[in-house]
Amino acid sequence: MSMNTQGRISRPHPDNDAPDGAPATFTGNRALMLEEPLIFERDGEGVTGVDFDELPEVTSCLGGLERRRPIGLPGLTEPEAVRHYTRLSRQNYGIDLGLFPLGSCTMKHNPRLNERMARLPGFADVHPLQPIDTVQGALALIDLVGHWLVTLTGMHAVAMSPKAGAHGELCGLLAIRAALEARGDARSVVLVPESAHGTNPATAAFCGYAVESIPATQGGRVDLGALKARLGPDVAAVMITNPNTCGLFEPDMIAIGEAVHTAGGLVYCDGANFNAIVGRVRPGDLGVDAMHINLHKTFSTPHGGGGPGSGPVVFSEALAPFAPLPFVEKQGERFVLVEEETAAQAGHGGAFGRMTAFHGQMGMFTRAAAYMLSHGADGLRQVAEDAVLSANYVLRSLEDVLEAPFAGSGPCMHEALFSDAGFAEGFSTLDVAKGLIDEGFHPMTMYFPLVVHGAMLIEPTETESKAALDQFVGALRSVAERAKTGDSALKAAPVYAPRRRLDETLAARKPVLTYREPSLPAAAE
């Protein structure tokens, strides 16, 4: 690390010693792969993107609390600032660059039409404290999306206020607890199959329940016999993911629901994988009492990056009176938000309370409405069919080079699952993931679900063409064959990324999250 001629810090590019023998460069750049320092390292003393007039002398009103040292913000000209963030954006991988193979995350294309609708005045700038008469259009849209969700799931009611999947799980379990307590039958245990999403047991524990695991069969489904054997008067609910995290549909879902209901419990379904069955299967017909739906997975917006999320929860007729407040209701020609003081008159007196201070995520409702209306019922059915077709194409195209532990159980649903069996000694799923980066792909979900050793979970979604799937399959085949033959060069991957392989354990346990200006030699000061 050294000072350049402008007094800024320059660093040699990390790939200058790459195995391809590329020479070091004066700038650290390699063609269009630009080495971009931190914005603090680009700081120029006295540099700014705008000019300010001299301020007149004024008497301070801060009472001696004035800042006495520099604020620590970097100074850049306008072109420098624009170039900095543009260069960083070129090092990022997004849905507009290529396929996202993340399992259980449904990183689908987000139609630009939906974004345009979400930015319409009246939706983009709506405020939660506006008078009801000024947001009738927004409430009508929320009611529309809720109607579609109830219809698509075959359920009785919907709570639109939960913000995302885990928030929806919490909503569903709180409604279940309220229903059980209302009948004087508070229970203490929630059963969670091994093939469920990892947030399920965490949510149950957060609600105060003891969590017990139900094993999976050799075929990757819930062990119905084990579940029935554990049911009893202390079991409040079973939380089941369907299709499950192994990418498989649960064929015993109706039998599971009947057994749980006979034992006095209720059925919560994790609907994060609804993308695989939307328009094809109605969870209400399977005996589900509550299910969250990730609008940001099934209805267009790519999931990830911290949001925006939205996790409405649909309820069976038995649980509908216990759903949270407020909810949208049409009274005559006017939409209203039913609050606590009017809930009893609306037949909703058992509500457990509120999930949030305000109603929901308006941007996500608008995007979901645009997606639903542009597809229609037949189009949404095709979404599920194409998603399942894509996943099975990936599964069958790779099962000869990667072990697919449940391939013998029949077709998968929305995602294909592979293990690390057959890799050369010392090679792992992590090496395959790093090799995929060199091939220009974001790695798939790794080491999850836990029921498969070295798991690789791939969800191609319905929005990928056969050509895109073929390119991904070809890249993964190539990297997998290198792992099986013990190609030592794979251990160095990624070679062509902006950064080389990190010490991931150290990065997780001792992350460096703040910038500290390096101390300079006396001669340079």
- The reported pLDDT for the residue numbered 521 is 54
Angle in degrees, 0-180, between the axes of helices 429-438 and 466-485, rounded to the nearest 10: 130
Closest of 213, 187, 218 to residue 200, by C-alpha:
213
Between these two residues, 133 and 104, which has the higher pLDDT value? 133
Question: Rounded to whole angstroms, what are the CA distances from 234 to 200, 223, 265?
Answer: 18, 20, 9
Condensed to tens digits (0 to 9), the pLDDT of residues 453-480 reads 999 999 999 999 999 999 999 999 999 9
- Burial of residue 482 (CB within 10 Å: 0-12, 13-18, 19+) is buried
What is d(CA 144, CA 138) in angstroms, rounded to the nearest whole number?
10
- Mean of the pLDDT values across residues 275-300? 95
Angle in degrees, 0-180, between the axes of helices 466-485 and 362-398, rounded to the nearest 10: 60
**Three-state SS at 35:** coil
SS (H, E, C) 451-518: CCCCCEEECCCCCCCHHHHHHHHHHHHHHHHHHHHCCHHHHHCCCCCCCCCCCHHHHHHCCCCCCCCC
Condensed to tens digits (0 to 9), the pLDDT of residues 209-219 reads 999 999 999 99
Domain boundaries, the chain: 153-369, 385-509
Phi, psi of 334 (to 5 degrees): -125, 140
Angle in degrees, 0-180, between the axes of helices 199-206 and 165-182, rounded to the nearest 10: 40
pLDDT at 525 over 50: no
If you compute the radius of gyration of the chain from its CA atoms, what whole number of angstroms results? 27
Question: Rounded to whole angstroms, what are the CA distances from 404 to 44, 385, 410?
Answer: 55, 21, 11
What is d(CA 12, CA 495) in angstroms, rounded to the nearest whole number?
15
Closest of 182, 163, 183, 159 to residue 172, by C-alpha:
159
Condensed to tens digits (0 to 9), the pLDDT of residues 151-183 reads 999 999 999 999 988 999 999 999 999 999 999
- The reported pLDDT for the residue numbered 305 is 55
**The two three-digit tokens of residue 480, written as one number:** 């997998």
- For the chain, what is the mean pLDDT? 89
Closest of 167, 168, 176, 157 to residue 266, by C-alpha:
176
**The two three-digit tokens of residue 350, written as one number:** 């058992």
SS (H, E, C) 214-235: ECECCCCCECHHHHHHHCCCCE
Condensed to tens digits (0 to 9), the pLDDT of residues 253-262 reads 999 999 999 9
pLDDT at 523 over 50: no
Share of the chain above pLDDT 90, in %: 65
What is d(CA 270, CA 166) in angstroms, rounded to the nearest whole number?
9
Closest of 366, 506, 492 to residue 437, by C-alpha:
492
- The reported pLDDT for the residue numbered 342 is 61
**Three-state SS at 394:** helix
Which of 3.20.20.100, 3.40.50.12160, 3.90.1150.10, 3.40.50.720 is the CATH number of 385-509? 3.90.1150.10
- 153-369 folds as Aspartate Aminotransferase; domain 2 (3.40.640)
Q: Which residue has the tokens 């010392």?
A: 426
pLDDT at 324 over 60: yes
